[in-house]
Amino acid sequence: MDVKKASPDKMIGKVAEKMKPMPEFKPPEWSEFVKTGVHKERPPEQPDWWWIRTAAVLRKISVKGGIGVSRLRKEYGGRKNKGHKPEHKYRASGSVLRRILQQLEAAGLVKKDKKKGRVTTKNGLSFLSEAVKESRRKSK
């Protein structure tokens, strides 16, 4: 199944569900207190946000190809409300994304490429395509 053609919301939710029982994807103890970037005012309120972000990062790596922490920080960044001053775009937290990439590498779903950055492995692509199939079965 093609990951690009699948509905991102359904696919990310299904991948996050499949990641929860896996021991490689344990959220760190600081994850319930940390903000996902300087542009955010509060930490995420969803209890399973770590798995959702991990699934979203895995999907983004498979869709965009070689991508690193710096590019992911741009992708997940946003505008900071500075009161009456003009808003500026800020990058997302590098620590959160770095830890997620390390977990994805430990699970064998992503690997480092010297020239491209992080790339999805065959196991990662099959993991995603299986989730796409399952999400399509449920929607029918």
> What pLDDT, in 10s, does the model give residues 86-102?
999 999 999 999 999 99
Q: How confident is the model at residue 140 (pLDDT cuts 50, 70, 90)?
A: low
Strand 88-90 versus strand 110-113 pairing type:
unpaired
Strand 78-80 versus strand 110-113 pairing type:
unpaired
Q: Whole-model pTM?
A: 0.89
Nearest to 1 by CA among 138, 136, 99: 136
Every domain of the chain and the residues it spans: 8-139
Rounded CA separation 92/76 (Å): 5
Whether domain 8-139 has CATH 1.10.10.10: yes
Q: How confident is the model at residue 133 (pLDDT cuts 50, 70, 90)?
A: confident
